[in-house]
Structure 1
Amino acid sequence: MRLWQRAVLAVFLYGSLALVHAGKVNVAVAANFAAPMQKIAQAFAQDTGHTALLAFGATGKFYAQIKNGAPFQVLLAADDEIPAKLVAEGRGQAGTVFTYATGRLALWSKQAGVVDDQGRVLHGPLSQQPQVKLALADPRLAPYGAAAVQTLTQLGAWPRWQSHVVQGENIAQAFQFVATENALLGFVALSQVWADGRVSQGSAWVVPQQLHEPLRQDAVLLQGGKDHPVALALMAYLKGERAKAIIRAYGYEV
């Protein structure tokens, strides 16, 4: 067999072997992390041949689903409490929890000029207009919603805005309320409105982190991912430089 024929055969055999070992992993992903995780999943597929099947939603809702036997192998939460709780309950694997990103909260309006870069709008006349709506995620289910309420409380603005609130089940739905202008402004994840190092549309205030509990977002390997090679590969991939670069590009800290 000639040298070039051997090279072609080697490439064919390597590709066939990769396909044989390619697999899938079911991943529950906090709604705020949808855009970066979609890009990470694409990179993961390119680099490993594996497929990450992604479901997006509120962390609190995923917790309930996992308790009821939902077939996820990995959870990428919007906080650090739920992964720790799952480990304590025996539904998560001890020693696998790590912080994959630290999120930032933003007050955002689709309209330019509505939100100033100091958040003074929260103390302005808009709160006196009954038709003005403020969107946020359900604070009982979504850490970003809890952070929004903490921010308003710290600023002494919660009483004036409480009657204006429209709640989304998760941060993705809160974002949609503002994006469709069913709410003039709302608290969203910075990653939802951030591109190329700036706010991509409308007007926004990046909330100082001292106004709310840190939005540390932890990953955990679930019971169903124990000894699952693709789940283990994804957990390792999230710690790699390619994934970290994507995460930073969406305004998260790593």
Structure 2
Amino acid sequence: MFKLTGKKAVVTGGGSGIGKAISIVFARQGAEVHIIELQKDAAAQTLTEIEAEGGRAYSHTCDVSKQGQVKEVFEAIGALDILINNAGIAHVGNLEKTSEEDMDRIYQVNVKGAYNCLQAAVAGMKQNGSGAILNLASIASHVGIPDRFAYTMSKGAIHAMTMSVAKDYLGANIRCNSVSPARVHTPFVDGFIAKNYPGKEEEMFEKLSKTQPIGRMAKPEEVAALALFLCSDEAGFITGCDYPIDGGFIRLNN
């Protein structure tokens, strides 16, 4: 089950964290994986791991916020079957602590970047006569998260775009869903804690882990497993849905 043999998949931000985990498991299941990544070294490391397992993968250096670059890369890739819109950045701050520059930066990458890739991917999927899109939203698109104004805005947009694309492309046999992770233990999280809480890394890691009722952060591989299912033929009856993968955060934090 959940084989992707013969499928061509694009994963944005596939050089690290969730995107890397998705790229590896998709290649393991038979997909030809195309990683769109701004960091060349990170993409190269993911390719090395995939190729070591006998998988097929390619990297494309691209800033997803630049529509011209995105179109050029997708044209080079050709018609595809799967898009994972994972690339994104974060910002800490409430409304008053979010500058215009902060807002623009988050919008350009998280919202416009996803839009650019969606638009480019749909054209190729229509050529194939089908497609599966998975957007990375967040628990922040469902509940209030302190000091995450701009980030929450961007992930709310991802959630809304997912519903719109799912509705508009039913007739083209293109499915579109999203997942909403809670905190996932990635190198980004470790870097964030080290930068913002120097000397208190262990304490803050424990505190952030316990905000999930299940008592820990997710593993990137757990998000990748859900992504694999939603992009496989076995999920062919699922579209226009968001799947929290949150250790009970949304429903059980009471």
Shared fold (TM-score greater than 0.5)? Answer: no
| Greater RCO, 1 or 2 (C-alpha within 8 Å, sep 6+) | 1
Structure (1 or 2) with the larger CA radius of gyration = 1
- Give the alignment's TM-score, normalised by structure 1: 0.31
More strand by share: 1
TM (norm. structure 2) is 0.31
Answer 1 or 2: which has greater helix percent.
2
